[in-house]
A = this chain, B = another copy of it.
Amino acid sequence: MSILKGAAVIGQSGGPSSVINASAYGAIKTALESDAITRVFGMCNGIKGILEDNLMDMSKEDPEELAFMKYTPSSALGSCRYKLKDPDEDETDYIRILEIFKKYDIRYFFYNGGNDSMDTCNKISKFMLRNGYECRCMGIPKTIDNDLAGTDHCPGFASAAKYIATSVMEVYRDSTVYDTGMITIIECMGRHAGWLTAAAALANYKGRGADLIYLPEVDFDLAKFTAKVKEIYAAKKKCLVVVSEGIHDKDGTFIAEYANKNMAKDSFGHAQLGGLAAYLANYIKGETGAKVRGIELSLLQRCAAHCASQTDIDESFMAGEAAVVNAVNGITDKMVGFEREYVNGQYKCNVKLFDLTIVANTEKKVPLEWINKDGDGVEQGFIDYCLPLIQGQTKLTYVDGLPRFVELKKVKAEA
């Protein structure tokens, strides 16, 4: 093994999660302690921090304060949704990145994000390889959507899943409290993959929980849905529905688009969804005359650090740590992922490395065998998959009854 001496830079990109900082902290802490790594930089707002020569010197942070990163939601270094062009079309950004790498003698590049971020990491890695600049590039996954290919699951998913299941349990109690009728529709995130919405099924303890769960993996039929709600409501005077923001009809039209045909798109061309719960609530109210409430979990589900899974936090930290350890050991061009193992029936999570090329821009969906035949619920296979991931309550520190989140100094790095 060749020891590669040089600086490391770490960035966060895409929509944050409640544990993405646990991964970043795992990487930063390990890098700061590494003999091979000479300096540790953080990118201000992901790859934009490199393009704009806006890096922070992580050694200037107080180590005790830095440790609060492990339990702080969202991306403490700042995030971006900047999409690098295809280098065959336009090399400008890559040439700039190489320039900054040389300026700071950056030899380790860690990028912490979802599909698009792995694509960014992959493109930079390949560019550096082609241009003979030795730099070890590692992707550290993050996505509440749990849709990255290869890995058994993604850091961030379990904490959002735990929040959703917990909230559905609580809302179930609240929405069934009167003997008068009530229909509740909860909307979860997930454009194309229904992992988060499926997590609502974890709340179904002794028949209390969601009556109907709709994932984007299956076509949604408004008429069939309405009939089902009416049937359940007639029998129980209650109906609790959980839907993914990305549910669509057989023609591929998002149900949320029924309400609003002119939706904004983000810079990756994704439609900006939202308002589905309100739309369906209003629709079902019209169809049934019942009291209907729509609840959109919105940003809450991806930043609820107070309800994070300690398993997820520890695994997220491990992913960041493993990225640095492997890179220092000579590995490059990989994403850190997970593989599950059962040791005497006990869940165990092992690190496994995946080719960035495979991971980038592929979406892993909920397997159809985990969705019931009516397409309105999930099977035990999903529960067995998901349950080990949500174990353990966060060890978050509280001060004055409220979470103590990290406060970074963000000292600008000098070359």
Contact = CB atoms under 8 A, between A and B. Distances in A.
Interface of A: 16, 18, 44-45, 48, 72-75, 78-81, 162, 165-167, 169-171, 173-180, 184, 202-203, 205-206, 275, 278, 293, 295-300, 302-307, 309, 311, 387, 390-393, 398, 400-403, 405, 407
A interface SS class? mixed
Given A401-B309, A401-B390, A171 B407 contact: no
A173 B402 contact: no
A189 to B, nearest CB: 12
Nearest to A398: B393
10 contacts: A16-B173, A74-B170, A74-B177, A75-B177, A162-B402, A170-B306, A174-B299, A206-B407, A387-B400, A390-B401
Nearest to A49: B179
Contact of A402 (B174, B179, B390, B398): B390
A170 B79 contact: no
Contact of A179 (B80, B275, B403): B80
A202 B400 CA distance: 10
Nearest to A171: B299
Contact of A304 (B170, B275, B400): B170
A149 to B, nearest CB: 25
A216 B346 CA distance: 53
Given A78-B178, A205-B402, A299 B303 contact: no
A364 to B, nearest CB: 22
Contacts of A400: 387, 391
Contacts of A45: 178-179
A302 B178 contact: no
A169 B401 contact: no
Given A78-B178, A306-B307, A401-B309, A300 B300 contact: yes
Contacts of A387: 400-401
Contacts of A296: 295-296
A171 B300 contact: yes
A298 B295 contact: yes
Given A44-B179, A81-B178, A391-B400, 12 more contacts: A16-B174, A73-B174, A74-B170, A80-B179, A162-B401, A162-B402, A166-B403, A170-B403, A295-B300, A306-B307, A311-B401, A392-B401
A295 B306 contact: no
Contact of A173 (B170, B303, B391): B303
A393 B205 CA distance: 24
Nearest to A267: B180
Contacts of A171: 299-300, 303
* The 4 nearest A-B residue pairs measured at CB: A74-B173, A174-B303, A390-B401, A170-B303
